[in-house]
Structures are given as structure tokens and as C-alpha cells.
Amino acid sequence: MAVVFAWEHLRTAVIAALVADGTFANSTVATAANPLGWREPPRQLVGTSRIVWVPGDPGGNLGEVVGPRFPGPRAALGDGNGPARNLLGLRELFTIDIVGANATAGSMSNEAAQYHATRALYDAWMRAMYLSGFGNLEFRSARWLVDRAEGRYGATIQVVCAMLAVIPDTIMGQAPVDTDASITTTLLNRSEVQLIEAPT
């Protein structure tokens, strides 16, 4: 079974809630409008509202290791290999860039319309976050990104959050030692493929 970390699960739940609320037309649109990764934030002129999920805080910090919540013995489910106990907790940090854009504003300079679109998206996102992560989520800070000197389409609110994730007493599944890897690196319009062969 694939490992899904706490805030990956939260992102999936928030996207589903935003679709159910009608914020995004359907799950395909919502997933495209909720990209995950470090490369996404610099993209400003995308023309639509979006919510960018970035691991860590703006300084690159992962989070804080804390004591486990509900530590207990390994549960026995007949075979003795039940759910693993909680060894530690990780208050994992992540950053959300909420980019609101009003395409009907007439120009990029209509800041009142861009403000309104961004605040409306922020409220919809905040509701979905609260309902999806209640009791396990902290909002650390929120700010407008106002230090971009170039013309921009829309406006951006950046929120730093922390979510308590379990570090379990279990061995994570990994690729077998005889696995090859094909890595594609893309910069602007140039791609380079590197093949890493398994040791023989």
C-alpha cells in the first residue's frame, strides 16, 4: 500500500471540499488549480486563480519533531502485525500561496477587483481547510505578497501552516535494490533525461 503523508491527505480532502462547494468546476480543474511543489510559486502570469501547496515554510524549514500523540503498543490484529504505534510526531510546515485573479476586471491594474477575488478564494480555502483538518492543523502566519515590482495578474495571500503528522514505528517501503531510474530535468523549454542503472 502506498504511503500518503498527512498534508498530502489534507490537500486531497481540501480539493474535494472545494469541488463540493462549487469553488472549482470539477475535480480535474481543481487538481490543476492546486499544484504541489517548489517550482510552482514563481509562476505568476497563469491567468487563473489557483492555490499553490509548497512543502516547508518560505525559509525551507521542515517543521518540529514532537512527542507522539496517542502512543501505544503495536495493535494486534490476529497476525501480530497490526497498525504501528506512533514513535514521534512531526509538526510539518507547509506554505500555501492563494492567487486570486479576476479575469473580468479589464486590466491587471484593477487592484480592488484582484483583492476581492483573492479574499473570496482565501475564505473558500480556509473553510475547506478547517473542515478537512480540524484539530490537527495550525495557522502560523498569513501575509499579502506585495514585494513583486513587476506587473502581476491578480494578488497573492501567503499562509504558513503546520500539521501534526505521525512518524510510525514501521519500515517504509522502498524500491528494490535492482531498480533503474529515469530522471527528466526541465529548465525553460529544454529537457534532459538521465538514466541511472541499478548496480549489478
**What pLDDT shows up at residue 81?**
57
Q: pLDDT of 82-94, one tens digit each?
A: 667 888 999 999 9
pLDDT tens digits, residue range 160-172?
Answer: 999 999 888 877 7
Segments in 5-149 forming alpha helices (H): 6-21, 27-32, 111-133
- Domains annotated for the chain, with CATH where assigned, are 6-169 (3.30.2000)
Instruction: Give the list of residues 6+ apart from residue 16 with CB closer than 8 angstroms, or none.
Output: 27
Global pTM?
A: 0.76
Find where cell 509562476 sits. 43
Q: Which amino acid is located at 93 in the chain?
A: L
Reported residue count of the chain is: 200
C-alpha–C-alpha distance, residues 92 and 56, integer Å: 7
Residues of the chain below pLDDT 50: 1, 75-80, 149-151
Dihedral, CA atoms, 54, 55, 60, 61, nearest 10 degrees?
140
